[in-house]
Chain A
Amino acid sequence: EPEVTQTPSHQVTQMGQEVILRCVPISNHLYFYWYRQILGQKVEFLVSFYNNEISEKSEIFDDQFSVERPDGSNFTLKIRSTKLEDSAMYFCASRGARREKLFFGSGTQLSVL
């Protein structure tokens, strides 16, 4: 089965630093998403991306966050100035045409010290 690939699997950063989380969605997919899960809590939607623009975002996705699809294969999430509360598992997901299922990556665990 095709896979969504996320790198790195773990990232440690200092508070205030910028981080970029990388994802390679499945090649023919059109819709891309970022979710996050703080340890012990539920998975929360951050943002969806379609046709090279953000189609929807949650209240969590403030000005510190941005997404980009720089080269037609990668899909990145950037956090400009990390805070302690940004520590979480970040999941990338993608899907193809309408009504197809969502494929999740295996996540990037971000630890902000």
Chain B
Amino acid sequence: AQTVTQSQPEMSVQEAETVTLSCTYDTSESDYYLFWYKQPPSRQMILVIRQEAYKQQNATENRFSVNFQKAAKSFSLKISDSQLGDAAMYFCAYNWNYGGSQGNLIFGKGTKLSVKP
């Protein structure tokens, strides 16, 4: 069974500093997607970044980047120049066969990120 593990229940970072959130997953599939979602106190799920497993290049979105290590089944999120608005719960998620009608997101338990001014 596919699983997603986030081993850091809480993290803290100083404003303008860099923080890395960890995620590992387990799957026997070769074609899959990985995601990081942000959930602020409003509880809306906001896609931060996604990575396609067949792409070796790490995805980046402005201040957000990932370190995707396929062999190690590791998918960490780096937030650079942290801002107060980055404070939220961050969920790592996995999905196989994303393009098909079947498939669903499997989420980790989340990491609560605090940003100190």
Interface size on B, residues (CB 8 A): 22
Residues in A whose Cβ lies below 8 Å from that of B44: 104, 106-107
**Interface range on chain A (Cβ under 8 Å from partner):** 20 to 34
Given contacts A104-B44, A106-B44, contact A56 B102 (CB under 8 A): yes
Complex Cα distance, B20 from A96, in Å, reads: 31
Contact B110 A33 (CB under 8 A): no
Nearest-neighbour CB distance to chain A for B44, whole angstroms, equals 5
Nearest-neighbour CB distance to chain A for B23, whole angstroms, equals 12
Interface of A is mostly: strand
Interface of B is mostly: loop
Given contacts A104-B45, A107-B44, contact A31 B108 (CB under 8 A): no
Cβ-based interface call for B85 (8 A): no
Contact B105 A35 (CB under 8 A): yes
Cβ-based interface call for A58 (8 A): yes
Given contacts A98-B100, A99-B99, contact A45 B43 (CB under 8 A): no
Residues in B whose Cβ lies below 8 Å from that of A50: 101
Complex Cα distance, B91 from A41, in Å, reads: 11
Cβ-based interface call for A48 (8 A): yes
Residues in B whose Cβ lies below 8 Å from that of A58: 104
Binding site for A on B (CB under 8 A): 42-47, 50, 91, 93, 98-110
